[in-house]
Amino acid sequence: MPAKAILTKVEDGSQWFGVDYNMNVYRGCSHGCIYCDSRSDCYRNDDFDRVKVKANALALLRENRRSRRRSPGVIATGAMSDPYNPLERELKLTRGALELIASAHFGVAIDTKGDLVARDADVLRQIGRNFPAIVKITITTADDGLCAKIEPDAPATRSRFAALRCLADAGVFCGVLMMPLLPFVNDTPENILAILRTAADAGARFVYPVFGLSMRDGQREYLYERLDGISPGLCARYAKEFGGRYRCPSPRMRELSAIFAAECGRFGLLHRMPDVVAAYRKGYGGRQSTLFRGETDDRAG
């Protein structure tokens, strides 16, 4: 697909891991996650499940990074499409982008469900020598069976934990996005404890949660059509509990937040946004732009 630019400035990166720019070399996603907000009508991303390649993505990135208007900062990728979709194994556009980022002394913040991210541990380690680098692997359930129902075409949970282990062993700052925790599905103490324990064993530095989900037009209908495949009557329960609301917190959010915070302390895992940002940018001094100015965060309840 045609593309005029590959980098966009983030106005307030403090809200999401202190990033300065956003980058997507692909559009759309093939993971098939039933809850994905990127399906929402407001994004006008037709045929979302089909991954499209942005034409001249690396040439555009090379041009953008040389621009005098582009001061060094942290480039995020994975917000609207997974940078480690199946096409990446052959095309290596994400890896090419990371190599350009490394040579320009920019930082990087990756969101992914793709276990292929472990392939790029070497270049991520290289970026981390000069500028902040962080990898966030989304893991919503410790159960591979449930994973296959809510994220049917994404790598299995065990594969994502294996990728996390590989990155941690290579010295890459990495952790888990534990989101969304779907009400009445995976919002249980047992699931949270299993994710935290396995993440800590894999070398994660942090786990960042959302106890609930958001629902918008387009995405809500897609989710509702699939809920009864997880548990009969679940769609009606969601309709009764949330109706047309955008923010849909777990009814157990207060209880789960307390359990989560206590167990993060026990396992030595960071879980507050300011603490995670401070940790992954630590030691870079004057080479980095101001990444985080906020002091509070309410996602974890």
Q: What is the pLDDT of residues 14-37, one digit of tens each?
A: 678 999 999 999 999 999 999 999
Task: Return the pLDDT at 70.
Answer: 60
Hey, is 154 helix, strand or coil?
A: coil
- In order, the DSSP letters of 212-274 are EEE--TTHHHHHHHHHTTTSTTHHHHHHHHHTT-SEEE-TTHHHHHHHHHHHHHHHT-B-SHH
β-pair type (212-214, 107-112): unpaired
Rounded Cα–Cα distance for residues 230 and 172 (Å) = 35
Would you state the structure tokens that stand for residue 273, as one six-digit string?
A: 């946004």
What are the CA-CA distances from residue 291 to residues 109, 130, 163, 295 (Å)? 12, 15, 27, 12
Task: Return the pLDDT at 55.
Answer: 86
pTM of this prediction exceeds 0.85: yes
Q: What percentage of the chain has pLDDT greater than the value 70?
A: 91
Rounded Cα–Cα distance for residues 64 and 57 (Å) = 10
Question: Per-residue b/e over 163-187, b at no fewer than 16 CB within 10 Å?
Answer: bbbbbbebebbbbbbbbbbbbbbbb
Residue 112's closest CA among 95, 100, 129?
Answer: 95
Task: Return the pLDDT at 46.
Answer: 80
Rounded Cα–Cα distance for residues 39 and 36 (Å) = 6
Tell me the pLDDT tens digit for each residue of 79-109.
Answer: 889 999 999 999 999 999 999 999 888 999 9
Count the neighbouring beta carbons within 10 Å of the beta carbon of residue 193: 15
- In order, the DSSP letters of 1-41 are ---S-SEEE-S-GGGTTT-SEEE-SEES-SS--TT-GGGSG
Tell me the pLDDT tens digit for each residue of 130-167.
Answer: 899 999 999 999 999 999 999 999 999 999 999 999 99
